[in-house]
A and B are shown apart, each in its own frame.
Chain A
Amino acid sequence: MNPEQAAAYRQFFSSLPSLVTAEDLFGILGQLQDELGCIPRAAIRDLAGRAGVSETRLFGAVTSYPDFLLAED
């Protein structure tokens, strides 16, 4: 992930509502991919924490799709 993407991600995450439910996650991941061109590794940690689901579950979901690109921090 380049610095630009990292900054864009920080802004994206700070604009999310404080309560995120599991219902919103697939949409948020899609939004991230469309806006940043990738899904930062940190987003899995952050979103899992905020929605109260396990990180492994979200990692498993994200890495299943060819159109989701996981980017290391």
Chain B
Amino acid sequence: MIHEMKRLTTRIGAYDPLDAAGYERLGGFRGLRQALSKAPADVIGEVADAGLQGRGGAGFAAARKWSFVAAQERHPKYLICNADEGELGTVKDRLLLEGDPWAVAEGLLITAYATGADVIIVYIRGAYREAFCLWKELAERVSAELRRPELWTAAAGRAAPELRVVRGRGLYIAGEEMALIASLAARRPVSASKPPYPAEKGLFGMPTVVHNVETVANVPLILADGAGEYRTVGTEEEPGTRLFSLSGNIRRPGVYELPIGSTTLAQLIDDLGGGTLDGRPPKAVQPGGGTSALLSAAHLNTRMSSADLRAAGSSAGTGGVIVYGADRNAVSIVDELLGYYGGESCGMCMPCRVGTLKMREIVKRLLAGDGCAADIGRLRAVGETCVKASTCGMGQSFPLPVLSALKLFPRDFESLVRVPPRTRTPDQEQSR
């Protein structure tokens, strides 16, 4: 039987989320004090030693992002906390935002100190109304706390950063780094090809660092107890813990914190999640949110680390583990997923704009009993094109569940093929 290891979630429920003193009593601000006693470059060094990686899906090394921005001379520099958590099956950021907001704020302040950021913007998903209202109030309290000389002014030797809270407006793609930057600049929220990277030319053309909420929440831990202590859990390449949002066909859905790589998918589902609703092994699992490739029951012994999940053919993504029950059909699973992502393409690049639509059409056709054998090949070809040719992470990854379903459950697709090509009526031929 495995148990949770609470590092990021240990204070949740233990203090009033708006109460700075309560946070401090529980060990808060130790990381910020430690950081301010060092030079910014040493803070970056500590985070680099800890090996902190982004928790938003791409897994980029946090310290590298920081050093790129710190090296820039131009001001103002922006630090954006990406709390536009729109990935299917992922609710971990909401838990941190509402349960331990001061830890997120502290992480942001340390990041701002290390990178020299002048403005911190927290971009909160529109549907997270409670989190937004809380953060609106928190922003004022943070600036009040920062007036305490030992917390910022005297130590940092420069003006405290300004904390702004912005509410997203219900668009999935706005959570993508480049689209998020466009959104804040009141431009159409579409992705853009990189380079230039945000570190060089981000919000309003200025150096910008964008971090996921969970990434930021790890920062105070590293500074408070040192990189060595941080590295005592997790794997060599991926130290620390991760929050896994467990949902779908599961007895005890919720957010669970585990050391990276210490547990298998089966342990997460059975020991913490209480197993599937009917007790049978799941048909499929998405281990890293709605755009991660499906894994079948044969992969349940995969350890929950980026490297192991990649070897199994999927990815750790956002840590959103979605469990599909044994009697589900793979085609209906991908139909649901395409139904969501099909409406969320920003339309900036052609493969994703057309691909989301075409793939959905084919799947609908198969489900309606109008599909032909060639449709399966078409579905794969369109999906592979999107993966190779799309600009942003969404376009490159939304076809992955479909492609993995075609590989793992080909019978589900083949059994839906009803119409052999020669018996198609002229009308059907035309509508193709």
Contact = CB atoms under 8 A, between A and B. Distances in A.
Interface in B175-213: 183-189, 204
Given A22-B185, A22-B204, A66 B166 contact: no
A33 B184 CA distance: 16
A58 B186 contact: yes
Given A22-B204, A23-B204, A67-B126, A30 B167 contact: yes
B169 interface: yes
A48 B171 CA distance: 22
Contacts of B189: 61, 64-65
Interface string A37-66: 000000000000000010001101100111
A26 B126 contact: no
A66 B169 contact: yes
B170 interface: yes
B187 to A, nearest CB: 6
A66 B172 CA distance: 10
A67 B187 contact: no
A17 interface: no
A30 B169 CA distance: 8
A68 interface: yes
Contacts of A67: 126, 169-171
Contact of B188 (A25, A29, A64, A66): A64
A64 B204 CA distance: 20
Contacts of A25: 186
A36 to B, nearest CB: 15
Contacts of B185: 22-23, 26
A26 B171 contact: no
Interface residues of B, number: 16
Given A22-B204, A23-B204, A68 B187 contact: no
A27 interface: yes
Given A22-B204, A65-B171, A67-B126, A30 B166 contact: yes
Nearest to B346: A64
A61 B170 CA distance: 13
Contact of A61 (B126, B166, B187, B204): B187
Contacts of B188: 57, 60-61, 64
Q: Which of A29, A30, A64 has the most CB of B within 10 A?
A: A64
B204 A26 contact: no
A26 B184 CA distance: 6
Q: Which of A26, A60, A67 has the most CB of B within 10 A?
A: A26
Contact of A27 (B126, B166, B170, B171): B166
B170 A26 contact: no
A25 B204 CA distance: 12
Contact of A68 (B166, B169, B346): B169
A25 to B, nearest CB: 4
A61 B189 CA distance: 7
Interface in A6-36: 22-23, 25-27, 29-30, 33
Given A26-B186, A29-B186, A61-B188, A66 B170 contact: yes
B167 A61 contact: no
Contacts of A27: 166
Contacts of B346: 64
Contacts of B166: 26-27, 30
Contacts of B169: 30, 33, 65-68
Nearest to B172: A66
6 contacts: A23-B185, A30-B166, A57-B187, A58-B186, A64-B346, A67-B170
Given A30-B166, A64-B171, A65-B170, 8 more contacts: A22-B186, A25-B186, A53-B186, A57-B188, A64-B189, A65-B171, A66-B170, A67-B171
The 7 closest A-B pairs by CB, nearest first: A25-B186, A65-B169, A67-B170, A67-B169, A60-B188, A66-B170, A26-B186
